[in-house]
Amino acid sequence: MSASLTLVVLMAVMYGAGVYVMLERSLTRILIGFLLVGNATNLLIFLMSGRSGESPIIDGATQPADIVDPVPQVLMLTAIVINFGVTAFILALIYRSWWLSNLGDEGDDVTSDEEEMDAAEADAALVFHANLEGDDEAVRTVLGSDHDDSDSDDTDASGGSGGSPDSADPSERDRDVMR
């Protein structure tokens, strides 16, 4: 086997393995298959570039027939850059799918600082209102005693036309004060 035939067989094996691996549904296997196909393409361009020769720099000593064509080299460099870019993109997709699969029920919800502050304020308000439930009775007691005192003053001054101290429901004014 000559070196060029070995490279042709290696290129064919890399294409075949790359396409076979890319047919899987896993993103990691798609990445590996894409890398194999990209490297096989670089080998194809290298094999098609022709014979080796002098660099394409024209000076007085080189003959035009000895100069190698620079286009295949440029195509190989371009293929390497494209392969690198697509590899980085697929790696970003793999990372993103891993991240989303580990989040579980949260999904893709990302809360901002403002939403976190609102949630903290709402939690603090719930705690505050829970503490106020015990204080309501004390306020009712104080308001009830003030209300009883003011009712007795009103009854004395106006001849018994005040509110009834026997009512269990607080008035609208008392409810506003309790809030």
Query: What CATH number labels 3-54+67-106?
Result: 1.10.287.3510
Lowest mean pLDDT among 24-28, 41-45, 102-106: 102-106
pLDDT at 160: 47
Q: Domain segments of the chain: what residues? A: 3-54+67-106, 113-178
* pLDDT tens, position by position, 85-139: 999 999 999 998 888 888 766 666 666 677 778 888 887 777 666 666 667 777 7
Helix ranges (H only) for 23-70 are 27-48
Please give the model's pTM, rounded to 2 decimal places: 0.55
Nearest to 147 by CA among 172, 127, 122, 130: 172
Q: What is the pLDDT of residues 72-84, one digit of tens each?
A: 888 999 999 999 9
Give the Cα separation of 69 and 141 in Å (integer).
100
* Of 160, 163, 161, 138, nearest in space to 148 by CA: 163
